[in-house]
Every structure is written in C-alpha cells, then in structure tokens.
Amino acid sequence: MVDSNVIKQKSKAFALRIINMYKYLSQKNEFVMSKQILRSGTSIGANVAEAIRAESSADFIHKLSISRKEAEETLYWLELLCETDYIDKEVFVSMQSDCDELLRILTSIILSKKDNND
C-alpha cells in the first residue's frame, strides 16, 4: 500500500537524511551540534505522526506547529554546521531546500486547518 500523505513521506525522508548526516558528523568527531540536529530534524516527522492521530483539530494544529518550530531549529543547526565547515555548501543548500519545503507544507496545512475551523 502506498502512503499518500505528502508531509508524512517528506518529513520521514528528511529524518533519514538527518540520521545519515549525524553518522557522518560523528565520524568527524562532532558530537554537540550533531546531537542537536538529530533531535530537531527527526522530531519534525515524529510530531507529524502524532498530528495524524490527533484527538482534535486544536491538537492537530498544535502538533504541526511543534513540527514547524523543530524545522526552524533544524535550519539554525544547518547554518551553524555550514559556517563551521562541518558540512559543505552543497550539502547545506540541499538540506536547507528540503527543510524549507517542509516549512512551506506545514504552514499551508496549519493555515488551511485554522481557516476550516473558523
């Protein structure tokens, strides 16, 4: 069965990229920022998964809002990793693009849900 939930698919794919980045950074003996980005980058999809089973519209919006905050935090860690030369510009741009896409989708879903609740 194919999962048609775009935000679920994309947030999971992003989490897998983050996990692979964490493995790479650990090999470079970077443990502080890598743990932070592992936590925030995988939390995006975890909160999306919780939102899918939300108990109410308010709970759904809340969980997706947390996902959005985690995506913003992940962008911060990506910037720091790039500016400290732990990841190169090409990797940064690719990861930033994926994270920006998640932010756009999350924002769109949140705004649509809020509009439908009015």
What CATH number does the domain located at 6-117 have? 1.20.1440.60
- Considering only CA atoms, which of 81, 64, 74 is closest in space to residue 42? 74
Are 40 and 74 within 8 A, CB to CB? Answer: yes
Report domain extents, the chain: 6-117
Nearest to residue 105, comparing CAs of 2, 11, 3? 11
pLDDT in tens, the chain (118 residues): 345 599 999 999 999 999 999 999 999 999 999 999 999 999 999 999 999 999 999 999 999 999 999 999 999 999 999 999 999 999 999 999 999 999 999 999 999 999 987 6
